[in-house]
Every structure is written in C-alpha cells, then in structure tokens.
C-alpha cells in the first residue's frame, strides 16, 4: 500500500463515516520538511476527530490496517480544547510545546487548529511539558546505552531530539525554530553553548551520521554528556 500522504488522505476521506468525523489531517516530521531525511524516516501523521465514535473508530482501523509503519497520532478536539474552548492540549506524552511542531506541519485536510494557538505560546507555558519529554527521552537513552541489542540508529535520533529540546527549554533556541533547525545546526549550536570534553565533542558530531554505529562505550559517553545537561536544567527549573 502506498505511503504517500495524499494517497492516505484520499483513502481516509473516501469513507463517508470518516469524512463526517475527521476535523483535520496533518503531516509532520522530517519527510514533510524534506529535512534530515534518511532511509528509515517515518511518515508522521496526526488525525483529529470531532469526538469519540464507534463507527468512525472501526472504519479508521480498517483503513489504517494497511499502514502499519506510519507514525500515527489520533486526537479529539477535547484533547486540544476544553469545554470552554480553552487550550488543554495533550497528545500521548506530548504537551503544549508540541503544538508548535503541529502548527509547522502540512495540513492535508480540514481545519488548521494549531497555527493561531502556536503564536500565543510562551516559553513559560511550554517548559513543563518540555521537561517531561526531556526526562522521557533520557530514560529511553539510559536503556539504549546499557542494552547492547538496542539499535544505534534510535539512540542517535533520540539524542538529537533531546538536545534540541534542551536548547528550547534553556531559552537558547526559539520555539518557532524548533522544527526548522536541521540536526547538524542543532549540534553546532549545542557545541557552541555547552561545555564538553574532547571525547564527548567528537561523538556528538557523529550523531548525524546514522550509518555510523555507536558501540556501548561510545553510547555511555554520549549518555553521560546528555545527563549532565538535563541535570543542570532540572537544577535551574527547581
């Protein structure tokens, strides 16, 4: 089955049930930006539905059964706004900071719910959700660094994600630039701001080469460098 976003969009909208309940279809991620794309880049799609509904859920399952490899997010209006139309965003483990990512995505269908909201976000509003995600990423990296069977590709991807979030949380990278800055530029900025020893610096600049596999010792060095940044953030936040 084709994973072209336009094909998936059409298959979803071909269903009268889904067409009646889908509010938006948004394409995000590296493929949507044609930036930092690699052989294992995922198709990242968010589908917004108007409300929980048995028929639309069942129909959605039938369509998406043909797309097991897409990185999928499904939310309802009530995951974005409360009954008084106030922002109350939560998408899995992603809190308000992720609204900027969605606002920078490609709207494939429906209402653009995030763009106006994104312009109202302040660093103070998104910092708690950023710290939650940073701590989630560091937890994943600890496991990847200590279990030899974990793929090096995932370790590198989550390192870069974490470092970019650290820059935003620290006020060193504007929230609106979060999705627009390339991985290479992210690492250059990190290296120019924070202190690393020679071994850490050399490994950090290898994070963008996803064909260059890290061994367990190299992962441990990078993990400890990331841990130090996160601990400093937590100290400042408290």
pLDDT at 36: 54
The whole-angstrom separation of Cα 179 and Cα 100 is 8
pLDDT at 151: 64
* Tally of CB atoms within 10 A around 12: 20
pLDDT at 238: 55
Among the listed residues 145, 144, 172, the one whose alpha carbon sits nearest the alpha carbon of residue 233:
172
pLDDT at 153: 84
Reported as type and span, the H/E element at residue 153 is helix 152-169
Kindly tell me the burial class for residue 113, based on how many C-beta atoms sit within 10 Å of its own C-beta (0-12, 13-18, 19 or more).
buried
Task: Compute the mean pLDDT over every residue in the chain, rounded to the nearest whole number.
Answer: 91
**C-beta separation of 222 from 197 below 8 A:** no
pLDDT at 35: 67
Per the rule left: phi > 0, alpha: psi between -120 and 50, beta: everything else, 34 is left
Predicted structure pTM score: 0.88
pLDDT at 148: 67
Among the listed residues 120, 233, 103, 104, the one whose alpha carbon sits nearest the alpha carbon of residue 169:
233
pLDDT along the chain (238 residues), means of 10: 83 96 93 65 90 95 92 95 92 94 96 94 95 96 83 87 96 93 94 96 92 89 96 75
Bridge partners (DSSP) of residue 175 are: none
Q: In this predicted model, what pLDDT tens digit does every residue of 9-57 receive, in sequence order? A: 999 999 999 999 999 999 998 787 776 555 556 789 999 999 999 999 9
Give the CA-trace dihedral at 176, 182, 188, 194, to 10 degrees. 50
pLDDT at 7: 93
CA distance to 27, 30, 31, 222, per residue, from 42 (Å)? 11, 8, 7, 24
pLDDT at 212: 83
The whole-angstrom separation of Cα 195 and Cα 192 is 8
């Amino acid at each position: 089955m084709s994973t072209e976003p336009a094909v998936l969009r059409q298959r979803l909208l071909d269903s009268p049930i889904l067409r009646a309940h889908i509010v938006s279809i948004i394409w995000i991620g590296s493929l949507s930006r044609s930036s930092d794309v690699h052989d294992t880049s995922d198709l990242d799609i968010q589908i917004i539905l108007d409300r929980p509904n048995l028929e639309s859920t069942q129909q959605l399952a039938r369509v998406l059964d043909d797309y097991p490899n897409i990185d999928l997010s499904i939310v309802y209006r009530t995951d974005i706004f409360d009954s008084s139309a106030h922002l109350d965003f939560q998408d899995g483990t992603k809190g308000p900071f992720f609204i900027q990512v969605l606002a920078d995505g490609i709207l494939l269908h429906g209402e653009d719910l995030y763009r106006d909201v994104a312009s109202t976000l302040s660093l103070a509003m998104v910092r708690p959700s950023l710290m939650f995600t940073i701590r989630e990423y560091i937890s994943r990296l600890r496991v990847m660094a200590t279990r030899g069977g974990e793929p090096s590709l995932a370790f590198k991807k989550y390192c870069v994600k974490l470092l970019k979030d650290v820059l935003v949380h620290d006020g060193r990278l504007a929230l609106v630039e979060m999705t627009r800055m390339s991985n290479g530029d992210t690492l250059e900025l990190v290296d120019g701001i924070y202190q690393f020893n020679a071994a850490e610096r050399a490994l950090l600049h290898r994070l963008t080469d996803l064909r260059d596999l890290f061994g367990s010792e190299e992962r441990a060095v990078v993990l400890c460098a990331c841990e130090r940044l996160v601990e400093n953030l937590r100290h400042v936040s408290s």
